[in-house]
Amino acid sequence: MQYVSTRGSAPALDFEGVTLAGLASDGGLYVPAEWPRFTADEIRAMRGLAYPDLAARIMAPFVVGSLTEDELLALCHKVYGDFGHAAVTPLVQLDRQHWLLELFHGPTLAFKDVALQLLGRLFETFLDRRDQRLTIVGATSGDTGSAAIHAVAGLDRVEIFMLHPNGRVSDVQRRQMTTVRAPNVHNLAIDGSFDDAQAHVKRMFTDPDVTGVLNLGAVNSINWARLMAQVVYYFASALQLGAPDRTVAYSVPTGNFGDVFAGYVAAKMGLPIERLIVATNINDILHRALSSGDYSAGGVTPTITPSMDIQVSSNFERLLFDAGGRDGAAMAEQMRAFEASKAMQLTNAQAQGAAALFTSARADPAETARALQWAYRAAGQVIDPHTAVGLHGAQAVAAAGGVAACVPLVTLATAHPAKFRDAVERAIGMRPALPARVGDLFGREESMVELAGDYAATRDHVLDNAAGAGGR
């Protein structure tokens, strides 16, 4: 399988290459040169497979030439055998139409584990093969950081620098990062928003002062391997609900557009998805883009859903590229203009291509709280605020007739409610407890470095402390 950049000028790479590269050298994002596709009979034959076996079956076309089927299967069994639920991503029914897909049974209680635990194994495999080291730089609005750190902590060939916006993640999210005391882990708390942190990361990948001395890698959803692993749970849930002989719709709490883009990939692969609902909080650039074509960034407003407090959604570029006709040169020009002005209007082709599968919905704080309360009182489910944004979007779109009542509508439950216990308690009057598998999280010592919000401070700290840079 070959992969191409959304901006058209970076060299095509195989799966091993894109996994280790992360961001393309031209600033774009890698996507498969063509989408693999399963027939209805092939999808039907996947019914009843255990999650690791299904994962290997779904991901096999993407890794051709880089991993054998046996190697991939062994990795999947190693990764998903450690999750806290035998089903890995179990379904829970809320009412006649609405379902929750629980994605928080991994080691850090968030959906990021499903992909990042695999990504850590892939890094280890490919770096051993090449006898190389990798310096990971990543940005997180909360969950990516802890999942990535847990995935690579203690690896000999990997060093990770994880940036988070200081004071803008929950106490559980922060501690799941800062209490991991492995020598290859560096936690950086920067002044500013997630968008600021993400901008620093993306800039480092194109900064010759950095790339000249460090072999950089990415764990954010800009890394294709992460998205690939997330495609699996769309297949797993849809199969349980009757696919391919029944269509299924999904509502996805969305910030950086990676999780919902994985649903788009699943549809491209032949899974009968009726509709993908992009559910945002009041930082609603994606809702505006999909409803009116206006992709214009404003200021980031902190909310009780910090993982969605984003105004620049990196993976949206993948959709614009694919839905708009795969014109890399045009995409590069469009993104250059957006990066300069922070404003962009979708082309007619992009808007129409997105509208074929995507709908969007926005939840304000009061609507988020009401969804939390409904799940608890009507269905006996305690959910986190991000999942509540998704549930509000599902209910709103269904009520407006955007998804027929006969179509199962699945909301992705992206985090355990205990990760956001203060917000949950305010909404429903009950404080969710951390699962026993998290252990004594609040008894562990924290370690992090606080930095100013400018790029130079971040770059210099990485270069001064990365083993691969030799202390400059």
Sheet containing strand 449-451, strands side by side: 216-217, 134-139, 158-165, 185-190, 449-451
Class of residue 56 by CB neighbours under 10 A (exposed 0-12, middle 13-18, buried 19+): buried
Q: Can the peptide bond before residue 432 be classed as cis, meaning omega within 30 degrees of 0?
A: no
Interatomic CA distance for residues 394 and 99, integer angstroms: 10
Closest to 104 (Cα-Cα) out of 180, 176, 189, 179:
176
C-beta of residue 398 within 8 angstroms of C-beta of residue 414: no
Please list the alpha-helical segments (H only) found in 297-454.
316-323, 328-341, 348-355, 365-379, 385-399, 421-428
Instruction: Tell me the backbone φ, ψ of residue 400, rounded to 5 degrees.
Output: -85, 5
With residue 260 as reference, give the H or E element that holds it.
helix 258-268
Residue tagged active-site, from 112, 202, 342, 419 = 112
Instruction: Tell me the backbone φ, ψ of residue 463, rounded to 5 degrees.
Output: -65, -35
Interatomic CA distance for residues 448 and 454, integer angstroms: 17
Active site residue 268: no
Which residues belong to the active site? 112
